[in-house]
């Protein structure tokens, strides 16, 4: 049984915890200028090599969604017992067939939250779903088990005592089903709290009630490309993006065949059947990143490879092709949370095109702390921050 408060079906259509801050919304250490003036002047100069039609010109904190998740967590995550979503990282989004939004959350604290503190009785799960309406604003929490005894929404079949566990990655409606990449993650000999690693990936298919319908092993293994950090539908294809050693990769498969289909991999200018031949399409990307199609342009949103520990920036690049090259890379935002001690920020940059206005792209990022006490003292320290990135049209070379 799926534990929820508000019923919504999919309607098939063909720890490490957060950061100590005194307030959720702090003035950004740096935010590039808003694009209003650039848009009003018309087109701006862009890198002609990429052939893109738009260029990022700035970003601002999106207070609507940042505050909505704060209020949602403070009010019990949509559960009458106040035990729903309180805070998490991850924060991928999938537009369902009825155009409502499913937010795919990773390591999750459940409520109740009192005076924005997570109580000692709060439960911790490795994966949950938060449902929202067509506007994406959160309204209820979905877990495994029941509201009285919630469990992670899915766990690896071979899990014993909670090890290994799943890490939600991107999801998509394919073949009329919600399919979500899940990274099998297990404990290792690393230094706590970083003593875990990726063991491989599965594709989990959910039914209309968010119960697990099937679990299918996918491409990718330790030492290789970690696939599933982003999924993009275009034409008759689903593009599957991956990451290895700070570089981005892309594969593709025919729509409706994400599970069971034979993938092709981008390799030095052509699509090949050999996964081992895949070559990078971009460098210096975060462990997760987003690619979004806007006005015929593919927009890469990311941190740098070590951005959560060093530059702390959200950066955007563009291309006319899903396989790159990505040019006009621009720093659009610097996470202010990184000014606090013990903090790593930003990470898990994810784009949310279904809730974005024309000419804009809403993205989220997460923060984290090396001290568990930071997040339980203030739940806002483990809730997503949202940005609105704005774009101007490119002036085409004569």
Euclidean distance between CA atoms 385 and 363, whole angstroms:
8
For all residues of the chain together, what is the average pLDDT? 87
pLDDT of residue 28: 34
| Average pLDDT estimate for 330-354 | 86
pLDDT of residue 50: 66
Assess whether pLDDT exceeds 50 at residue 12.
no
User: By C-alpha distance, which of 77, 100, 98 is closest to 87?
Assistant: 77
Provide the domain limits for residue 79: 30-395
Assess whether pLDDT exceeds 50 at residue 278.
yes
Res. 375 pLDDT band, cuts 50 70 90: confident
Euclidean distance between CA atoms 352 and 331, whole angstroms:
19
Res. 32 pLDDT band, cuts 50 70 90: very low
Task: Report yes or no on 23 lying in a domain.
Answer: no
Euclidean distance between CA atoms 372 and 291, whole angstroms:
32
| Average pLDDT estimate for 38-53 | 66
Q: How do residues 203-258 score in pLDDT, each as one tens digit?
A: 999 998 999 999 999 999 999 999 999 999 999 999 999 999 999 999 999 999 99
Euclidean distance between CA atoms 265 and 156, whole angstroms:
26
User: By C-alpha distance, which of 240, 304, 266, 251 is closest to 316?
Assistant: 304
Task: Report yes or no on 99 lying in a domain.
Answer: yes
pLDDT of residue 244: 97
Q: How do residues 166-198 score in pLDDT, each as one tens digit?
A: 999 999 999 999 999 999 999 999 988 779 999
Assess whether pLDDT exceeds 90 at residue 289.
yes
Count of the separate structural domains present in the chain:
1
Task: Report yes or no on 281 lying in a domain.
Answer: yes
pLDDT of residue 371: 76
DSSP structural state of residue 63: H
∠ Cα 81 86 89 (to 5°): 150
Which of 77-91, 95-109, 371-385 has the least mean pLDDT? Answer: 371-385
pLDDT of residue 312: 87
Res. 387 pLDDT band, cuts 50 70 90: very high
Strand order in the sheet with 30-31: 30-31, 327-334, 313-319, 297-302, 290-294
pLDDT of residue 25: 28
pLDDT of residue 71: 98
Euclidean distance between CA atoms 171 and 143, whole angstroms:
16
Task: Report yes or no on 162 lying in a domain.
Answer: yes
- Give every CB contact of residue 2 below 8 A, 6+ residues apart in sequence: 142, 143, 144, 153, 209, 210, 211
Which of 66-80, 130-144, 356-370 has the least mean pLDDT? Answer: 356-370
CB-based contact 164:158 (threshold 8 Å): yes
Which of 154-158, 189-193, 350-354 has the least mean pLDDT? Answer: 189-193
| Average pLDDT estimate for 77-92 | 96
CB-based contact 181:172 (threshold 8 Å): no
Torsion angle of C-alpha atoms 249, 254, 257, 258, degrees rounded to 10: 20
Tally Cβ neighbours within 10 Å of residue 96.
Answer: 22
HSE-CB at 331 with a 13 A cutoff on CA atoms is 12
Torsion angle of C-alpha atoms 165, 171, 173, 174, degrees rounded to 10: -80
Task: Report yes or no on 14 lying in a domain.
Answer: no
Which of 10-24, 125-139, 320-334 has the least mean pLDDT? Answer: 10-24
Which of the two residues, 107 and 346, has the higher pLDDT score? 107
CB-based contact 193:370 (threshold 8 Å): yes
Distances (CA, A) of 139 to 53, 85, 117, 211: 36, 10, 20, 19
Which of the two residues, 13 and 369, has the higher pLDDT score? 369
pLDDT of residue 341: 63
Task: Report yes or no on 196 lying in a domain.
Answer: yes
Res. 91 pLDDT band, cuts 50 70 90: very high
**Residues β-bridged to residue 265:** 251, 272
Assess whether pLDDT exceeds 60 at residue 27.
no
Task: Report yes or no on 17 lying in a domain.
Answer: no
| Average pLDDT estimate for 300-315 | 86
Which of the two residues, 318 and 47, has the higher pLDDT score? 318
pLDDT of residue 21: 25
Assess whether pLDDT exceeds 60 at residue 36.
no
Task: Report yes or no on 8 lying in a domain.
Answer: no
Q: What is the CATH number of the domain that holds 203?
A: 2.115.10.20
CA quadruple 280, 292, 312, 346: dihedral positive or negative? negative
DSSP structural state of residue 280: -
């Amino acid at each position: 049984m799926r534990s929820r408060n508000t019923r919504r079906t999919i309607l098939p259509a063909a720890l490490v915890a957060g950061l100590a801050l005194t307030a959720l919304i702090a003035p950004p250490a740096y935010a590039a200028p808003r694009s209003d003036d650039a848009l009003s002047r018309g087109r701006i100069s862009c890198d002609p090599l990429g052939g893109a039609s738009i260029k990022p010109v700035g970003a601002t904190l999106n207070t609507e969604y940042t505050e909505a998740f704060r209020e949602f967590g403070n009010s019990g995550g949509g559960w009458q017992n106040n035990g729903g979503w309180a805070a998490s990282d991850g924060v991928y989004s999938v537009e369902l067939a009825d155009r409502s939004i499913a937010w795919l959350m990773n390591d999750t604290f459940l409520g109740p939250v009192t005076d924005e503190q997570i109580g000692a009785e709060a439960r911790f799960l490795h994966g949950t779903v938060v449902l929202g309406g067509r506007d994406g604003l959160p309204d209820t929490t979905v877990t495994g088990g029941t509201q009285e005894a919630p469990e992670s929404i899915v766990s690896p079949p071979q899990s014993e005592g909670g090890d290994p566990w799943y890490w939600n990655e991107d999801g998509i409606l394919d073949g009329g089903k919600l399919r979500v990449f899940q990274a099998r993650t297990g404990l290792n000999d690393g230094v706590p709290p970083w003593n875990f690693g990726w063991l491989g990936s599965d594709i989990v298919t959910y039914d209309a009630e968010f119960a697990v319908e099937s679990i299918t092993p996918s491409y990718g293994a330790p030492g290789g490309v970690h696939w599933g950090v982003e999924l993009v539908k275009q034409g008759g294809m689903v593009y599957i993006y991956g990451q290895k050693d700070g570089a981005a990769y892309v594969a593709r498969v025919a729509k409706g065949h994400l599970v069971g289909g034979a993938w092709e991999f981008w390799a030095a200018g052509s699509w090949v059947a050999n996964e081992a031949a895949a070559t990078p399409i971009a460098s210096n990307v975060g462990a997760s990143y987003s690619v979004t199609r806007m006005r015929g342009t593919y927009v890469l949103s990311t941190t740098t490879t070590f951005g959560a520990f060093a530059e702390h920036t959200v950066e955007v690049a563009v291309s006319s092709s899903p396989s790159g090259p990505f040019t006009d890379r621009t720093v659009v935002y610097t996470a202010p949370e990184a000014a606090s001690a013990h903090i790593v920020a930003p990470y898990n940059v994810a784009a949310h095109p279904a809730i974005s206005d024309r000419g804009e792209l809403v993205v989220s990022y997460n923060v984290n702390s090396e001290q568990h006490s930071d997040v339980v003292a203030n739940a806002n320290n483990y809730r997503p921050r949202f940005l609105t990135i704005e774009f101007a049209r490119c002036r085409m070379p004569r």
